[in-house]
């Protein structure tokens, strides 16, 4: 499925090496079908599988998915517990296949807030996929970008107080090194589903020069075809980074 688009991507030039996605619209997908919201989240889980496979096929190296924000802790407890259960279920169901596909999973965010079962599942998937080299899959869970930046500031301040870092050595690279995303280049392409035109506290530092693509498709309906179309759209763009074209 989507082989025609994959062939176009091969001819289209550079593939975005790092794709980030705000997976939004599960609740509206359920509402449209008169289903409870957790069933929308369950349907969204299948879209994650699609996109992981599509990313590997297209040659994307890093896929960073926004699954649950720090602000999402303010949702009703029943929805939160359904999401935590789904996280555990997703990991239990997918961990072997992820490992076989060469995917390495990292979970970014404040994992101390996760329920013990979800936290154990997160640690298990990171451990069991640690040898993967084909795709880095970053799951942002209990993540907020401002909290991440404040944490980086705190870590740098600690280093200065301990005498390990000099004040004048704190530059952009030093900040970047303290972010959860330190091991990876900045996203080349950000996709947000469900049509909302905002970042919702996602990767505010890292998205400085990222290409943005907002699609009206609700996350559970997002398939590898849509990922491939987004990549083709990206390939038609000119990235200037503030410079002029030669």
Give the tokens for residue 232: 């083709």
Q: Which residues are catalytic?
A: 24, 72
For ligand IPE, which residue of 146, 198, 237, 239 counts as binding (CB under 6 A)? 198
- The widest CA-to-CA distance across the chain, in whole angstroms, is 59
Q: Least distance to ligand IPE from the beta carbon of 140, Å?
A: 7
Residues near 177 by beta carbon (within 8 Å), at least 6 away in sequence: none
The contact pattern for ligand IPE, residues 73-102, with x = CB under 6 A and - = no contact, is ----------x-------------------
Q: Is 72 in the site for ligand IPE (CB under 6 A)?
A: yes
Find which of Mg ion, ligand IPE, none residue 66 binds, CB within 5 to 8 Å per kind.
ligand IPE
Q: Least distance to Mg ion from the beta carbon of 201, Å?
A: 12
Q: Least distance to ligand IPE from the beta carbon of 72, Å?
A: 5
Tell me 243's DSSP state. Answer: S
Q: Is 69 in the site for ligand IPE (CB under 6 A)?
A: yes
d(CA 73, CA 81): 10
Q: Is 200 in the site for ligand IPE (CB under 6 A)?
A: yes
- Taking each helix axis from N to C terminus, what angle separates 224-235 and 37-58, rounded to the nearest 10 degrees? 50
Taking the least distance from each CB to ligand IPE, the nearer of 48 and 95 is 48
Find which of Mg ion, ligand IPE, none residue 198 binds, CB within 5 to 8 Å per kind.
ligand IPE
Q: What share of the chain is helix, strand, coil (3-state, %, to 5)?
A: 50, 15, 35
Helix/strand/coil for 146: helix
Q: Which of 79, 180, 167, 68 is nearest to 113 (CA)?
A: 68
Neighbours of 198 (CB within 10 A): 10
The contact pattern for ligand IPE, residues 100-139, with x = CB under 6 A and - = no contact, is ----------------------------------------
Residue 34 φ/ψ, nearest 5 degrees: 55, 40
For ligand IPE, which residue of 2, 16, 27, 38 counts as binding (CB under 6 A)? 27
Q: Is 67 in the site for ligand IPE (CB under 6 A)?
A: yes
For ligand IPE, which residue of 6, 20, 23, 232 counts as binding (CB under 6 A)? 23
Q: Is 24 in the site for Mg ion (CB under 5 A)?
A: yes
Residues near 121 by beta carbon (within 8 Å), at least 6 away in sequence: 87, 88, 91, 92
Taking the least distance from each CB to ligand IPE, the nearer of 13 and 195 is 195
Helix/strand/coil for 19: strand
Q: Answer yes or no: are the C-beta atoms of 90 and 117 closer than 8 Å.
A: no
The contact set with ligand IPE (CB under 6 A) reads 22-28, 66-69, 71-72, 83, 194, 196, 198, 200
Task: Give the residues lining the site for Mg ion (CB under 5 A).
Answer: 24
């Amino acid at each position: 499925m989507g082989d025609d688009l994959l062939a176009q991507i091969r001819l289209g030039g550079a593939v975005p090496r790092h794709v980030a996605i705000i997976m939004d619209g599960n609740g509206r997908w359920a509402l449209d079908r008169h289903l409870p919201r957790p069933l929308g989240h369950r349907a969204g889980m299948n879209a994650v599988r699609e996109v992981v496979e599509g990313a590997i096929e297209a040659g994307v190296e890093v896929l960073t998915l926004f699954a649950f924000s720090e602000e999402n802790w303010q949702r009703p407890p029943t929805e939160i517990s359904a999401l935590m259960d789904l996280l555990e279920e997703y990991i239990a169901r997918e961990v072997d296949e992820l490992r076989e596909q060469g995917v390495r999973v990292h979970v970014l965010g404040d994992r101390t807030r996760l329920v013990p079962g979800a936290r154990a599942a997160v640690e298990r998937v990171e451990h069991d996929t640690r040898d993967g080299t084909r795709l880095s899959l970053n799951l942002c869970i209990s993540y907020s970008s401002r909290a991440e930046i404040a944490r980086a500031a705190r870590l740098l301040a600690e280093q200065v107080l301990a005498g390990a870092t000099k004040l004048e050595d704190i530059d952009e690279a030093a900040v970047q090194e303290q972010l959860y995303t330190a091991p990876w280049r900045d996203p080349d392409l950000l996709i947000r589903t469900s049509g909302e035109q905002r970042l919702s506290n996602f990767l505010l530092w890292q998205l400085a020069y990222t290409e943005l693509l907002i699609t009206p498709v609700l996350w559970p309906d997002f398939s590898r075809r849509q990922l491939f179309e987004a990549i083709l759209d990206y390939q038609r763009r000119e990235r200037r980074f503030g410079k002029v074209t030669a």
